[in-house]
Amino acid sequence: MELPLTAENVESVLDEIRPYLIADGGNVALHEIDGNVVRLKLQGACGSCPSSVTTMKMGIERRLMEKMPEIVAVEPIADEETGLELNEENIEKVSSVFYQDDVYTSLVLLDYSYFK
């Protein structure tokens, strides 16, 4: 059954997906609907998980588009509360700030908790 694109319907579909995300320490929140584009915030472990792109595209986006075909895109937004986006540039920034001669110390300081 197809649903119209509304915040309530997006939340309803997200509620179907949430138990799987929560089981892995994450969650998802609707940030906004802009025309036919849905923007979501991956939270907790989902925000920093290397598989978050796959989760977004193959899981969340696919399910939302099945239920609401008028959606043209589902986009993740940065969760400013959880830190920096995990990418090469930010790893270099953090490692340069915390770099020590002691390799072990550098590895401990370059913890994924600095990233979302």
Question: pLDDT digit string (tens) for 34-86?
Answer: 999 999 988 876 666 666 666 777 788 999 999 999 999 999 886 555 455 66
What are the tens digits of pLDDT across the range 4-23?
A: 999 999 999 999 988 888 88
| Angstrom distance (rounded) from CA 72 to CA 89 | 30
Confirm if 51 and 41 have CB atoms less than 8 A apart: no
Q: What is the pLDDT of residue 13?
A: 95
Q: How many CA atoms lie within 13 A of 77 on its CB side?
A: 15
Q: Is 12 left (phi over 0), alpha (psi -120 to 50) or beta?
A: alpha
22-54 burial: b if 16+ Cβ within 10 Å, else e: eeeebbbeeeebeeeebebbbbbebbbbeebee
Token pair of 1, please?
């059954």
